[in-house]
Amino acid sequence: MSEIHKEFIDIFETVRARIEAVNNDLIAAGLLPAGIDQSRVLVEPPRDVGHGDLATNAAMVLAKDAKRKPRELAEAIAERLRRDDWVQSVEVAGPGFINLTLKPQVWREALRAAIVAGPDFGKPNNGQGRKVNVEYVSANPTGPMHVGHCRGAVFGDALANLLEFAGFAVTREYYINDAGAQVDLLARSAFLRYREALGEDIGSIPEGLYPGDYLKPVGEALAREFGRSLLAQPEQEWLPVVRAKAIDMMMAAIRDDLAALNVRHAIFFSERSLSAGNGTCDGVADAIAWLRARDLVYEGRLPQPKGAPSEDWEDREQTLFRSTEFGDDIDRPLKKSDGSYTYFAADIAYHKTKLDRGFHDANDPTPGISLMHRAWPHGWTGTAIPHGTVFSR
């Protein structure tokens, strides 16, 4: 694209640059001090369309440092802007706002630039191919998506689209929470529906299990695949089979709902793949060891929480992450009393996989992210976004 087209792609930025050039002339003339900060100068549409095409606060934000009245400085800026070949008229309003009306050919050239650029009109290259991982939705596979999940899906996908448009290499990721107590409850709930599909009267669903009818198809699928064979097995044998089936069918339904929103993820990352339960490795143990080597994990005791009933409190030595070094109230446990990992430990291990995959910047409010700023040599940044995490490299 020619240079003449480029300057019409972002008229606001082009006009801001021209105002900055005018201010530099005023510096040369001694009307503004050398080195004055122009970063707060904005060019925006005026609130009232009758006031012109664009408005700038230049005089208002520079007057104090220039030790001049805003209106006086505005008149000096306006006088020079009237000589600009883009500007048809300039008006100083109120205490020092500057309203500009551009010549009609400016807008014609902007339209021509848009036609020439086509879908790439306004496309920046801020990313320059930098890798970004956007993890979003990540609804637990214990039931169908709800409206809140849909909001996260739309937000995350729009963010990923914007990052791609800005020149980033985006990976869209979904974290499947397929480990822990909630998926065992899912399996037990699905097993009840399996017995129901075989003709048994299961009565009301016991408290604590998932009562939704959405598990009836899972029970029917188990009955078709296994017949009555699972009934003869103890829970420790049928539970992993039923759990895997239930998770697969729940995720298939979630994928269908996401596809209806035109949301598609490149990676579905299994939480269970981090644990020794997958039969291959223990990624959580590896992450804890990695942090321990950096003196961020230790064995210690926590004080009793204020207001906690004494019978619910267990004073014991446990594996702790030094989250107080990153502004947390207390250090966070990484293992439960039965030796299993906390959710926090699994989250840390998952985030470390993103480091290992080459994504070195993170946007997430959790302490598990902040720890990496110290533990990882490239450093991380932190800002919250709804329903997900953005990692970039």
- Nearest-angstrom CA–CA distance, 15 and 37: 17
- Nearest-angstrom CA–CA distance, 343 and 300: 19
SS3 87: strand
The predicted structure's pLDDT at residue 391: 57
Contact criterion met (CB below 8 Å) for 182 and 247: no
CATH 3.40.50.620 residue ranges of the chain are 130-267, 275-393
The predicted structure's pLDDT at residue 31: 93
Per cent of the chain over pLDDT 90 is 75
Query: Which class is domain 3-106?
Result: alpha beta
Triad 145, 149, 151: Cα angle to 5° = 135
pTM: 0.76
Question: Does the structure show a pLDDT above 80 at 277?
Answer: no
Task: Please state which of the ranges 14-23, 221-230, 374-383 shows the lowest mean pLDDT.
Answer: 374-383
Query: Which class is domain 130-267?
Result: alpha beta
- Nearest-angstrom CA–CA distance, 369 and 361: 9
The predicted structure's pLDDT at residue 382: 36
- Nearest-angstrom CA–CA distance, 302 and 230: 44
pLDDT band at 380 (very low <50, low <70, confident <90, very high): very low
Contact criterion met (CB below 8 Å) for 133 and 391: yes
Question: Does the structure show a pLDDT above 60 at 392?
Answer: no
pLDDT band at 122 (very low <50, low <70, confident <90, very high): confident
Any alpha helices (H) in the chain, and if so which ranges? 3-9, 11-28, 58-66, 70-81, 104-117, 147-165, 181-197, 216-226, 235-260, 283-292, 343-356, 367-375
The predicted structure's pLDDT at residue 175: 95
Mean pLDDT confidence for 98-127: 91
SS3 71: helix
The predicted structure's pLDDT at residue 363: 58
Question: Does the structure show a pLDDT above 60 at 90?
Answer: yes
Terminal-residue alpha carbon distance, the chain: 29
Q: Which residues of 26-45 are buried (b: 16+ CB within 10 A; e: fewer)?
A: bbeeeebeeeeebeebebee
The predicted structure's pLDDT at residue 389: 59
Instruction: Give CA separation, 77 vs 19, 22, 103, 111, 353, in Å.
Output: 8, 7, 18, 28, 54
- Nearest-angstrom CA–CA distance, 304 and 112: 69
- Nearest-angstrom CA–CA distance, 172 and 355: 16
- Nearest-angstrom CA–CA distance, 211 and 250: 15
Instruction: Work out whether strand 388-392 and strand 131-136 pair parallel, antiparallel, or are unpaired.
Output: antiparallel
Tokens, residue 371: 């720890």
Contact criterion met (CB below 8 Å) for 201 and 193: no
Instruction: Work out whether strand 87-93 and strand 54-56 pair parallel, antiparallel, or are unpaired.
Output: unpaired
The predicted structure's pLDDT at residue 124: 85
- Nearest-angstrom CA–CA distance, 328 and 306: 16
Question: Mutual orientation of helices 343-356 and 367-375 as an angle, nearest 10°?
Answer: 40
Mean pLDDT confidence for 299-305: 90
Tokens, residue 97: 């706002």
The predicted structure's pLDDT at residue 275: 80
Question: Does the structure show a pLDDT above 70 at 67?
Answer: yes
Closest to 371 in 3D by CA, of 302, 320, 299: 320
SS3 119: helix
The predicted structure's pLDDT at residue 40: 95
The predicted structure's pLDDT at residue 308: 65
Can you say whether residue 342 is alpha, beta or left, with left for phi > 0 and alpha for psi between -120 and 50 degrees? beta
Can you say whether residue 29 is alpha, beta or left, with left for phi > 0 and alpha for psi between -120 and 50 degrees? alpha
Question: Does the structure show a pLDDT above 80 at 69?
Answer: yes
CATH 3.30.1360.70 residue ranges of the chain are 3-106
Question: Does the structure show a pLDDT above 60 at 68?
Answer: yes
Mean pLDDT confidence for 65-74: 95
The predicted structure's pLDDT at residue 314: 81
pLDDT band at 378 (very low <50, low <70, confident <90, very high): very low
Q: Give residue-wise pLDDT tens across range 229-271.
A: 999 999 999 999 999 999 999 999 999 999 999 999 999 999 9
- Nearest-angstrom CA–CA distance, 366 and 384: 9
Instruction: Work out whether strand 43-44 and strand 131-136 pair parallel, antiparallel, or are unpaired.
Output: unpaired
Contact criterion met (CB below 8 Å) for 208 and 170: no
Q: How many CA atoms lie within 13 A of 161 on its CB side?
A: 9
Count other Cβ atoms within 10 Å, centred on residue 216.
14
**Average pLDDT value over all residues in the chain:** 89
Contact criterion met (CB below 8 Å) for 364 and 348: no
Q: Name beta bridge partners: 270.
A: 176
CATH topology of domain 275-393: Rossmann fold (3.40.50)
